[in-house]
């Protein structure tokens, strides 16, 4: 090809790219102008759902499949389509976007966050249609079968693996060649799952071979085995993020029986004679009310759902009394908060395999992405593979996850782990000199430390107090140290050798006094650098109604209040050895079935 031919081809591709962009904008604008988004709500609906996030979007879609059922979906944020970068997996996962977030922080942590400003960690939550599914890392990780069977043993009858797998399959549309429909995978649901393919296969191969050399066999992250190596699977479609908004909600927004109110901040559930009859919300500074003849369903996420419940008089006795809120039901709302932690091990390498901002946003990279959905940009956070491991010898249940990330996040503008400026400076200087590098992200999947969400005041706009008590239980630090040692061992395998892996020089003075690769050294790094793995859950624990620690029963009904349910990450009773996107979608699918059946029963009774 001559230089002229090349230039001409380039111009054609550019024109095509621009045309595709225009078509996308027209499409997005037309989709977002569906009549479902309304300015004035009716006085009453059958169901009012609070929060159009991960769970709320699935519920709204499933409940309105019956055209007789009228649903109002209230969302505090706006449309997620306002920022096209949110749909590009790499950019959205590495460049944070405060316009679409609640900007929560934990309170200062006693045992963790030593390297962070004010010893607080960020807790990210999405604020728009799709909720946190518009800014998460899209990794499709259901967690091991054993986790669900443990739930069942602990009193969650009907939530064992055999009960929940049909609901995972109901939503899944797996397009991977190795994940044909089977007992573990399906291809007809709305949530597309795609194997992540890295633009640098030799890096994936190195990680995979290193895992094998340490005895971790190949497996499917969402299959029969629980321990081993697996290639990443993500909820993307042709390189574009699949949120629950574009997978579930937007297709349902053509239905006459669904109304969606944006920028509607719900302040409380209206409870009359022990029954939820509607909600109060603020929009454009005005107080509005929407009635619910069947049910109010809270899907505002594990931080905001407890806040709304407490403001409505449903919560722990002392807290309600301190806040002077009239009690409606005394139950442990906000307790039992769990969240995983992750610690980056940065590894510098000798090959040009790193996804840098310059490489991934180059004209060639963007064109490749536009034309074929390939290249760097479809990779969520640059992650390509995982090792599921156990810190306890002989255990079949993973509590550690080591993920390979083909990037150094600190190189990205907008990267924000709330690190103290001196630590961030050291880190960036370290990576400036070593542009080629990767992260072995060590994650504690099943923490035993337990925290809580409480309120300082009855102001619905004041952020709740989030205290996860990270690393309070010594078992958590012990497990993470084993994880760091495993990551170090990976860098010492024969497979890794050809990349000449180098760990950065020691950049936290307090940790430098310990011997490298010793327990105290890793403990120090963990206490300074660990960040939330964003698997917050448990704040409205599901379980046996007779168990004093539970907030909702096995049908997700709030104890002591009729016609009120919680359907979101709050109800997860304990951490799973995976992540929480797929499990929350599963919970919403199962809840929709439970609610539909109960509605049909009530409906039949009324008409017989």
**Does position 299 bind ligand FAD by CB under 6 A?**
yes
Contacts of 43 (CB under 8 A, 6+ apart): 289, 290, 291
Cβ atoms of 271 and 257 closer than 8 Å: no
Residue with smaller CB distance to ligand FAD, 129 or 477: 129
Stretch that binds ligand FAD, among 217-225, 392-400, 424-432, 576-584 (CB under 6 A): 576-584
Stretch that binds ligand FAD, among 245-253, 294-302, 395-403, 552-560 (CB under 6 A): 294-302
How far, in whole angstroms, is CA 538 from its chain's centroid?
14
Q: Does 133 bind ligand FAD (CB under 6 A)?
A: yes
Q: How many residues does the chain have?
A: 608
How many residues of this chain bind ligand FAD (CB under 6 A)?
42
64, 132, 312, 491: residue in contact with ligand FAD (rule CB under 6 A)? 132
| Binder of ligand FAD out of 88, 192, 196, 266 (CB under 6 A) | 266
DSSP state of 505: P
483, 442 contact by CB (below 8 A): yes
Read out DSSP for 497-525?
Answer: HTT--BPPPP--HHHHTSPTTSHHHHHHH
Place of tokens 């790094």: 525
Q: Does 301 bind ligand FAD (CB under 6 A)?
A: yes
Per CB under 6 A, which region of 19-27, 364-372, 546-554, 579-587 contacts ligand FAD? 579-587
Residue nearest to ligand FAD (CB): 53
Backbone conformation region of residue 123, classed left if phi is above 0, alpha if psi is from -120 to 50, else beta:
beta
As given in the structure block, the two tokens for residue 53 are 């996030």
Beta carbons within 10 angstroms of residue 201's beta carbon = 12
Residues with Cβ within 8 Å of residue 427, at least 6 apart in sequence: 346, 410, 419, 504, 507
Residue (of 525, 531, 499, 204) closest to 347 by Cα position: 499
User: Could you tell me the CA-to-CA distances from 537 to 198, 259, 270, 490 in Å, in that order?
Assistant: 31, 28, 25, 31
User: Which two tokens mark 386?
Assistant: 């995982």
Using rule CB under 6 A, residue 259 touches ligand FAD:
no
Residue numbers 310-339 binding ligand FAD by CB under 6 A? none
Contact 138, 235 (CB under 8 A): yes
325 is in an annotated binding site: no
Q: Does 132 count as an annotated binding residue?
A: yes
Taking CB under 6 A as the rule, does residue 304 contact ligand FAD? yes
Ranges within 77-106 binding ligand FAD (CB under 6 A): 77
Question: Which of 164, 584, 592, 595 touches ligand FAD by CB under 6 A?
Answer: 584
Shortest distance, position 299 Cβ to ligand FAD, whole Å: 6
Using rule CB under 6 A, residue 265 touches ligand FAD:
yes
Residue 51 binds to ligand FAD (criterion: CB under 6 A): yes
Among 3-11, 74-82, 149-157, 393-401, the segment contacting ligand FAD (CB under 6 A): 74-82
Interacting residues with ligand FAD (CB under 6 A): 50-56, 74-77, 124-127, 131-133, 135-139, 141, 264-266, 299-302, 304, 308, 534-535, 568-569, 579-582, 584
Annotated binding site: 132, 266
């Amino acid at each position: 090809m001559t230089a002229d031919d090349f230039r001409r081809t380039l111009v054609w591709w550019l024109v095509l790219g621009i045309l595709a962009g225009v078509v996308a904008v027209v499409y997005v604008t037309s989709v977002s102008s569906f009549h479902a988004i309304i300015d004035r709500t009716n006085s009453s609906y059958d169901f009012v759902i609070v929060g159009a996030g991960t769970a709320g979007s699935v519920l709204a879609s499933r409940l309105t499949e019956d055209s007789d059922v009228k649903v109002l979906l209230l969302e505090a944020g706006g449309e997620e389509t306002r920022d096209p970068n949110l749909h590009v997996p790499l950019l959205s996962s590495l460049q944070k976007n405060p316009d679409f977030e609640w900007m929560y922080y934990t309170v200062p942590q006693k045992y963790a966050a030593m390297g962070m400003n004010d010893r607080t960690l960020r807790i990210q939550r999405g604020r728009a249609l799709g909720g946190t599914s518009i800014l998460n890392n899209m990794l499709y990780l259901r967690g091991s079968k054993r986790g669900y069977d443990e739930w069942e043993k602990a009193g969650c009858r009907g939530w064992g693996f055999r009960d929940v797998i049909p609901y995972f399959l109901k939503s899944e549309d797996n397009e991977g060649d190795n994940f044909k429909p089977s007992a573990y995978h399906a291809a007809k649901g709305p949530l597309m799952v795609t194997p992540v393919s890295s633009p640098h296969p030799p890096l994936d191969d190195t990680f995979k071979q290193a895992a094998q050399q340490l005895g971790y066999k190949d497996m499917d992250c969402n299959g029969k085995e629980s321990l081993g190596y697996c290639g990443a699977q993500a909820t993307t479609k042709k390189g574009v993020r699949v949120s629950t908004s574009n997978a579930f909600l937007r297709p349902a927004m053509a239905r006459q029986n669904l109304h969606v109110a944006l920028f509607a901040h719900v302040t409380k559930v209206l409870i009359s004679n022990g029954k939820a009859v509607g909600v109060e919300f603020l929009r454009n500074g005005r107080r509005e009310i929407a009635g619910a003849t069947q049910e109010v369903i809270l899907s505002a996420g594990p931080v905001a759902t407890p806040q709304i419940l407490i403001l409505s008089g449903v919560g722990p006795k002392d807290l309600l009394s301190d806040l002077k809120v009239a009690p409606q039901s005394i139950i442990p709302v906000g307790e039992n908060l769990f969240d995983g932690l992750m610690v980056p091990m940065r590894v510098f390498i000798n090959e040009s395999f790193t996804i840098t901002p310059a490489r991934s946003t180059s004209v060639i990279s963007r064109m490749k992405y536009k034309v074929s959905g390939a290249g760097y940009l479809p990779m969520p956070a640059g992650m390509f593979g995982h090792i599921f491991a156990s810190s306890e010898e002989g255990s079949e249940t993973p509590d550690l996850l080591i993920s390979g990330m083909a990037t150094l996040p600190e190189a990205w503008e907008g990267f924000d782990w709330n690190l103290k400026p001196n630590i961030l400076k050291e880190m960036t200087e370290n990576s400036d000199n070593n542009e080629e590098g990767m992260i072995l992200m060590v994650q504690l999947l099943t923490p035993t430390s337990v925290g809580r969400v409480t309120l300082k005041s009855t102001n619905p706009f004041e952020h709740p107090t989030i205290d996860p008590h990270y690393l309070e239980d010594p078992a958590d630090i012990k497990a993470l140290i084993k994880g760091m040692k495993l990551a170090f061992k990976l860098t010492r395998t024969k497979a890794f050798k050809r990349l000449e892996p180098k760990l950065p020089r020691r950049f936290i003075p307090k940790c430098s006094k310990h011997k490298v690769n010793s327990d105290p050294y890793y403990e120090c790094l963990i206490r300074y650098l660990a960040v939330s793995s964003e698997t917050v859950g448990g704040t409205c624990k599901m379980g046996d109604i007779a168990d004093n620690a539970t907030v909702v029963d096995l049908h997700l009904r709030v104890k002591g209040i009729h016609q009120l349910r919680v359907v979101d990450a709050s109800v997860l009773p304990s951490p799973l050895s995976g992540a929480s996107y797929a499990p929350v979608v599963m919970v919403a699918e199962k809840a929709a079935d439970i609610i539909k059946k109960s509605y049909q029963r009530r409906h039949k009774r009324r008409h017989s």
